[in-house]
Amino acid sequence: MKKSNKDLKKDYQQQEIQMGIYQIRNTINGKIYIGSALNLQGIINSNRFQLKMGSHKSKSLQEDWNKLSENAFVFEVLDEIKPKETTNIKEELNEQLNLWLDNLEPYGEKGYNDKIKSREEILKLISNNKVI
């Protein structure tokens, strides 16, 4: 028996949303882009859509996508986070993201992420009247 739209919607709303860390990996050159999300499937779909539309925030990832095509990339979940009752999930996601960034260092020749500037680096740029 086929489910009604109402039943399908109810099933969807009762699904547990997967949260965690993901990567977009270039299978040709091995470069990676790492991110985090409260809804992994949603952010993966969003990244894929942005890349198809030519509007991804990572210009170097977008350039490689345009040059190599969608078939050269895979979207992977690196780490799933289960919310704990006493923990701030956004804080936990940020901590996990920083651990993955520190471990894999997806910058420059190794990846598509921009190096996150420390508070001190940002203040120095501001004091020197540089654009961030």
Query: Is there a domain that residue 51 lies in?
Result: yes
Query: Is there a domain that residue 57 lies in?
Result: yes
Torsion of CA 10, 15, 17, 22, to 10 degrees: -120
Query: Is there a domain that residue 17 lies in?
Result: yes
Query: Domain range spanning residue 38?
Result: 5-109
Query: Is there a domain that residue 70 lies in?
Result: yes
Average pLDDT, the chain: 88
Which is more confident, 87 or 32?
Answer: 32
Query: Is there a domain that residue 120 lies in?
Result: no
Query: Is there a domain that residue 127 lies in?
Result: no
Query: Is there a domain that residue 12 lies in?
Result: yes
Which is more confident, 65 or 90?
Answer: 65
Give me the long-range contacts of 2-10 (CB less than 8 A, separation at least 24). Answer: none
Question: In CATH, what number is assigned to the domain containing residue 21?
Answer: 3.40.1440.10
Q: Tokens 């651990």, residue?
A: 99
Span 89-101, mean pLDDT?
Answer: 91
Total number of domains in the chain: 1
pLDDT of 104 higher than 70: yes
pTM summary value: 0.78
* pLDDT tens per residue, range 2-59: 888 887 777 666 677 889 999 999 999 999 999 999 999 999 999 999 999 999 999 9
Going across the sheet that includes 32-37, the strands are 32-37, 19-26, 73-81
Query: Is there a domain that residue 92 lies in?
Result: yes
